[in-house]
A and B are shown apart, each in its own frame.
Chain A
Amino acid sequence: MSDVADIRDLTVTFATDGAPVTAVSGISLAAHAGEVLAIVGESGSGKTVTANTLLGLLPETATLSGAVIIRGADGETDVVHATHAQLRAMRGRDAAMVFQEPSTALNPVYTVGWQIAEGLRAHQKISRAQAKVRAIEILRTVGIPDPERRVDDFPHQFSGGQKQRVVIAMALVLNAGLIIADEPTTALDVTVQAEILELLRTCRDEFGATIVLITHNMGVVADLADRVIVMYRGDIVEQAPVRELFASPREPYTKELLAAVPRVGAGKSRTQGQDAAASAPTEAPADAVVVARAAEIGYPGRFGRGGVVAVKGVDFWVAPGEVVGLVGESGSGKTTIGRALVGLTEVMGGSLTVLGTEMRGATNRRLAPLRPEIGFVFQDPATSFNPLLTIAECIAEPLIVHGRARSPRAARARVDELLDAVRLPTAFGDRFPHELSGGQRQRASLARALALQPTLLIADEPTSALDVSVQATVLELFAQLQRELGFASLFISHDLAVIDEVADRIVVLRHGVIREQGTTAQVLGAPRDDYTKRLLASLPVPDPVAQAARRQEWERTREG
């Protein structure tokens, strides 16, 4: 009786152009009233399909079997066999959804108040004025300041975290017993993520809502979940209460998954030692690969409009053979700096020298001799390869352009060498980018960046689009290649734990200004800046016991 959602023997099959694909194969699970049930798994594990099934949100190409029962206050609904009308009545009233990307989950042309009222009007007869009162009330509950005024604002007038609060408000306003949150914090910054997790906890504790949390982030699971279900390739691998799962995972897959999660304090910050910090240089060495002095970087305006300065005067350097981690939240200007090093964004003031060449006002011609010396790894491996060329042709492109080979065929020997270096089978060279998985593509991307043996490698969030276990192997590969080839690197990431794995020194960036820089051990072990401290405190650790203690610590820093 106390199960709010009950899935029995659910199988979901999708029709495709090729053979049908089974996304979920015969799983059974139940969400008990008032608990947070986390479904974790890598991409392709079927966790999102399972969540969408709960609301009957699958596309027409899907075929369902089994039973999915949603129990609300007014009876139960079998989603698999329900009519459209029954589904519509159930959605919002008994179960609601919080989407991953709050900026696309809200309709940009209506006010948030209207959108909250829309849900109310769909289920009950309610006057416009009454709906607005309820909307203001619920906005206040989810922590939107000054709700009487904000209720008439449009989604673009809210920040990312506030938009997610509005989406949660829409889920709460009808008092749905079940809230399905599909990666609710993935698109948000760490400091905002901590606040949203706090809000979801309030939903459970004060509204008695049951939350089905879909996520790949073990830190989030440790922070919020009561019970965890681990999925792999459409099947349930293990389910257990959260402390039990983290303390003593039974299945080998779960163990692997937990071991792959990077933790702050487990990487270079541990091996480096504090004495290295003391002897760290505070001035750029004479042979530094990159030197920035009061560099202002941005986007100049067009047609007489003023430009935007994204990076407001930064000083940092990258010494030869050194990995510098650039950390910051979205909008901090970290990607802008990375792109400026290769001339993709413009240096508008100060000075930025790369390998002795001044980037301010540099023309394409002056940058040409620099190109073979710099490699670049992009964030999204899915789009950083020309989809019409084979992997071998893509990797051969720099070799051909710089005259090291005349055709892709002539370059093949070197390409095979590179594929071997990044531990990909050489036969993969004949495949097209879409035929490789994300991790394989990112290795190929690394191979392309290293094709000309650069002295500087810029890696822009190279692992943030990858699953944890894949991320771990790519990071390991990166560290190994860096040791062997000795290139200097600027490693850009929003994830402190990832930076800890690879970086020798860390630069913390916020709103285009450097807040703190120093050796990894120093910045992560003994942060001096308040922002760095907050960043570290917001990061959920994949351990429920430690995270509970950290959460109290975080609440203290927030009040203080």
Chain B
Amino acid sequence: MSTDASSRPAAVSDRTRPLADRIPVLSHLRRSVGLQRAMLVIGVVIVAVFVLVAAFAPLIAPYSWAQQSANGVDFATQQPPSAAHIWGTTVSGFDVFSRVIWGAQTALFAILAAIVFSLFIGVALGLLSGYFGGWLDRVLLVICDAIYAFPSLLLAIVMSIVISRGQSTLVGGILAAAISITVVFVPQYFRVVRAEVVRVKAEPFVDSARVIGVPLGRILVRHVLRNSTRTLPVVVTLNASEALLTLAGLGFLGFGIEATKAAEWGYDLNRSVADVTSGIWWTSIFPGLAIVLVVLGITLVGESLNDLSDPRLRTRRRAGGAA
């Protein structure tokens, strides 16, 4: 059966469709119903709050991330939540609330940098490897498989040591984290794009372009790449949460960013380990909660996009009318 009859209602040009139907997350939101919609909405709200907090951190946080005194008075260390420090202070006398807020900024930068790097490298390699095949494809596949074999955190630690010898500034630290995450993620983008390219290049419309005599670069970009990126939004969101976890993991293990250079949740958790046994809960709960919430939010968005993009997994309202 062809889709002849079913495609008829959709006989409106994409160009004339409302903008909201063409932006990935928004279009998914409009198509979703029930539980899938609730998951997506919760995820989107959490992510939106996270991004807003990161963007307006200077306005929200009462103190800087490395501030240990105000008006010439040093902050008392390990103070429980109070009016001056609503989430208390740490062992070094930092304000927990301010560090959690500033930490959002660091996390967002790291996520963005990691995604941008791995996306560009992974997509470019996947496109070339998938289209040309041959020995280039073989070599790249073997390298990717080799990278898969390493635990990703171990690889990230090695990269972090190579890049910045373990400790560094805000930019250096974020870059070190981002690049180490990139090394882990490039194979994923590579695999996804390569698989799509291998599928698309066998499609008759690519043959048709070759028969017409379309130059190679134009075939790659206009005909192959544009048709191979459908699954990327899902991979990007799922990787974003993993990027944050890797950054926090690095920080927790002491390979992150120094406290005086930037606020970072993993580092804060590391410093609060000793506090837990002495009943000081506020130094670990808040950064930990921040990590859990952001990862949860991004994962909810990613998983919902995954389900909604697949017509077989997407739930629909039942057709009206008869029983």
Interface residues of A (CB under 8 A from B): 11, 13-21, 23, 43-44, 48-49, 61-65, 233-234, 302, 339, 342, 344, 367-368, 371-372, 374, 376, 378-380, 382-390, 397-398, 401-402, 430-432, 434-435, 437-438, 448
Selected interface stretch from B3-11, B39-47, B121-129, B167-175: B3-11
| Contact status B226-A388, CB under 8 Å | yes
Known interface pairs A368-B213, A385-B208, A388-B227; 12 further A-B residue pairs with C-beta atoms within 8 A, sorted by A's residue number: A43-B1, A63-B318, A64-B322, A344-B211, A367-B213, A374-B211, A382-B2, A386-B226, A401-B212, A401-B214, A434-B3, A435-B13
Q: Which residues of B contact A20 (CB under 8 A)?
A: 319-321
| Contact status A398-B5, CB under 8 Å | no
Q: Given A16-B6, A61-B316, does the pair A11, B211 have CB atoms closer than 8 Å?
A: no
Contact of A18 among B9, B203, B322 (CB under 8 A): B9
Q: Is residue B204 within 8 Å, beta carbon to beta carbon, of the partner chain?
A: yes
Q: Closest CB of chain A to B267's CB: distance in Å? A: 45
Q: Given A20-B319, A383-B203, A386-B222, does the pair A376, B211 have CB atoms closer than 8 Å?
A: yes
> In this complex, what residue of A is CB-closest to B311?
A17
| Contact status A21-B214, CB under 8 Å | no
Q: Which residues of B contact A17 (CB under 8 A)?
A: 31, 316
| Most central of B14, B203, B226, B319 by chain A CB within 10 Å | B319
A to B CB contacts below 8 Å, 20 in the list: A11-B321, A16-B6, A21-B9, A43-B2, A44-B2, A44-B5, A61-B316, A63-B322, A65-B321, A233-B5, A371-B212, A378-B204, A380-B204, A388-B226, A401-B212, A401-B213, A430-B13, A430-B15, A434-B3, A434-B10
Q: Given A372-B213, A376-B208, A384-B208, does the pair A14, B322 have CB atoms closer than 8 Å?
A: no
- In Å, the complex CA distance between A339 and B13 comes to 33
Q: Which residues of A contact B5 (CB under 8 A)?
A: 21, 23, 44, 233-234
- In Å, the complex CA distance between A382 and B204 comes to 9
- In Å, the complex CA distance between A17 and B32 comes to 9
Which interface class (under 10, 10 to 19, 20 to 34, 35 or more) fits B? 35 or more
| Contact status A15-B318, CB under 8 Å | yes
> In this complex, what residue of B is CB-closest to A81?
B323
- In Å, the complex CA distance between A200 and B167 comes to 77
Q: Closest CB of chain A to B136's CB: distance in Å? A: 13
| Contact status A16-B316, CB under 8 Å | yes
| Contact status B322-A11, CB under 8 Å | yes
Q: Closest CB of chain B to A15's CB: distance in Å? A: 4
Q: Is residue B165 within 8 Å, beta carbon to beta carbon, of the partner chain?
A: no
| Contact status B2-A438, CB under 8 Å | yes
| Most central of B6, B9, B212, B320 by chain A CB within 10 Å | B212
Q: Is residue B18 within 8 Å, beta carbon to beta carbon, of the partner chain?
A: no
| Contact status A435-B11, CB under 8 Å | yes
Q: Is residue B210 within 8 Å, beta carbon to beta carbon, of the partner chain?
A: yes
Q: Given A344-B207, A386-B205, A388-B226, does the pair A13, B321 have CB atoms closer than 8 Å?
A: yes
| Contact status A65-B4, CB under 8 Å | no
Q: Which residues of B contact A372 (CB under 8 A)?
A: 213
Q: Given A13-B321, A20-B321, A23-B5, does the pair A387, B227 have CB atoms closer than 8 Å?
A: yes
Q: Which residues of A contact B214 (CB under 8 A)?
A: 397, 401
